[in-house]
Structure 1
Amino acid sequence: MLELLHQMQVIRTFEEQVEKLFQAGEIGGTMHLCIGQEASAVGACSVLERKDKIITTHRGHGHSIAKGMDIGRMMAELLGRETGYCHGKGGSMHIADLDVGHLGANGIVGAGLPIATGAALASKMKDLGYVVVCFFGDGATNEGAFHEALNLASIWDLPVVFICENNQYGMSGSVKEMINIEHIATRATSYGIPGKLIDGNDIIQVMETVQEAVERARRGEGPTLIEAETYRWRGHSRSDARKYRTREEEAFWRKNRDPIALFKNKLIVEGIITEEDFAHLVEQVQKEVNDAVEFARNSPMPSIDSLENDVYA
């Protein structure tokens, strides 16, 4: 329980630090933060084995950390340094680490879905025994890739778990304006697979639901679609003024549905930690993130000689 809380706090602090670095001009490009969505990442990845794979999105820092990636190398990648996971060339939206089963983030909405289905097909054909967890947002469920991936995965009973992190907004529009059904999870019935609607900010519920889906997939019984309802505290990207929602709505989610606060309070009630313990944890995590920033800043920029390296597999 303490490690789960620690991981969620690492993701929160890492992203808050990344936001500051971006605003200071130390990180180029754009930035998509998952602050407020930590429980779905940590809960899902906590029930996976090291051999299991994940595919993430443009909003993938949390999933990457939860799957076991080093925050120093992640920070180096965001700052464009040679010591980063992609040698400083991938940036925020293209981090990957095959050693821990992270098949990569993706800057194209919905593009990870067919990749995850392909990886699951490889696992089944070669009898490799791993399960693939595919993270995507509510906006991706209206892409053709979503339907094609779920259809193939269902008819071939592939070992893949599809997790839709419904954070209520696809870029600048409410999900209610984008689909004509109440819950995305009901789309699973079209493919003859289980569809689960859960509170994506309740880490225990996430763990239990994903565990069940992973075990089903590992038994060869096929995929599951999980809709985890959550909320991103920041805008879609750093250029988003969030004019499409009210500050009152944001304040409600921050005050009442903060996944870290919900889990912390649960552990306090159960006598596992105290407020003082949590304050110490926050201090410890801040040091870990500060060390990651220092490592990144002290790392060299990629050499011009490496410009054409890694362009093709």
Structure 2
Amino acid sequence: MTNVSDPAPNPHATAEEVEAAYRDPKLANVLYHDWEAGTYDEKWSISYDERCISYATDVFNAVAGTQGQPYGHAMELGSGTGFFLLNLMQGGVIKKGSVTDLSPGMVQVALRNAANLGLDVDGRVADAERIPYDDNSFDLVVGHAVLHHIPDVRAALREVLRVLKPGGRFVFAGEPTKIGDFYARRLGRLTWWLTTNITKLPPLREWRRPQQELDESSRAAALEAVVDLHTFDPSELERMALGAGAVDVRAVTDEFTAALLGWPIRTFEAAVPQEKLTLRWRLFAYHAWLRLSALDRKVLSKVLPRELFYNVMITGIKPAAPSRL
């Protein structure tokens, strides 16, 4: 259930609104994510089955451990379509959930996904720098790929700690590291250029998406560059959380070889007709990513600096209230 005062989605922004969005990151986030909401799960291969349940719970446990589960009431900040929260609920990590996002379209889709899964979830359109919940409301706050969209990350972390109950935990995952973003974006651009140019050749034209769809993807990518505001050094992110008042702060990174493969694959999939992506291809891509993720986690994370990996995850705890004598 959403709050009746929340704004309605705006998936068809005018040219004037889009022009204004280039000067206003928050407006850009709303327009971009309202635009993407209906197809976001498909674009990023998001599902609510064992594949993504395992991914979400593994990521959560890797940084926060299993102690304290299940959490009674959790909020997802910048929930998008609900990927992280809903899969953690299905995995038994969380009992009751609330989704929040700056995009009304994303809140709408997240609540629809929750209803289809039979999960106990409500939702609000929310600015991460001014979360519309009372102090001490949640046992857990989670987020996936959200901090890098927020103009003032420090203010958002202070808000997260405000709405957490004393002793409550936050977990943010899927944030790009500075080095990881450098190589991932360049791999993506190279793959896009190669795929869209090679498929102009007559023998490969059936592999080329219609020009209108390619133009639409290019416009989305241009606006995506506006909404992606930050990359993070793991140590710097830890200092931000400590400065906001958290304790027991810990950052962990993952995906190195998995990102080197995953970004070209994801970009290639966005550049070709969807009917060309057979089940055999999708299984190959998924299992290759799984194998490389295991290599990163079990081997390379022990020998490589954490700054080299693409994703950073961070957790921390709100200090317990001082005891009264």
TM-score scaled to structure 2, two decimals? 0.36
The structure where strand makes up a greater share of residues is 2
The structure where helix makes up a greater share of residues is 2
If you compute each CA radius of gyration, which structure gives the higher value, 1 or 2?
Answer: 2
